[in-house]
Amino acid sequence: MIKPKCDLVSCGQELTQFGALLYGPVQNGLSLKQHVCASCYEKIKFRCDGVSSTNGAFLFGPPGQEGTVKVHDISKHCYERMQREFFLRK
């Protein structure tokens, strides 16, 4: 069984329930995928700027009661800022 851990540098906890997924901008047909626990999702979802971008990133929230997920369309600039602040990536 795969047991992902929250990729936020300040957390690293094993996901015991469905969390969120952060997909970075597509580069050369690939996108970086990062796991985010439900608790950290609550902390970072407000960082999304809501600016729609064709080369942006997406944060998919944990499933709700109806089985649907909240999708945050975030700009490349916001994604890069989140990477520096929460994931320690340049």
Please tell me the chain's helix, strand, coil percentages from 3-state DSSP, rounded to the nearest 5: 25, 20, 55
For residue 14, pLDDT over 80 is answered with: yes
Tokens of 71: 């999708």
pLDDT for residue 89: 61
Q: Could you tell me the maximum CA-CA distance found in the chain, to the nearest angstrom?
A: 37
Tokens of 35: 């796991």
Residues listed for the chain: 90
pLDDT for residue 82: 85
pLDDT digits (tens, 9 = 90+) for 25-72: 888 889 999 999 988 988 888 776 566 666 678 888 888 888 888 888
pTM of the entire predicted model: 0.81
pLDDT for residue 5: 93
pLDDT for residue 69: 87
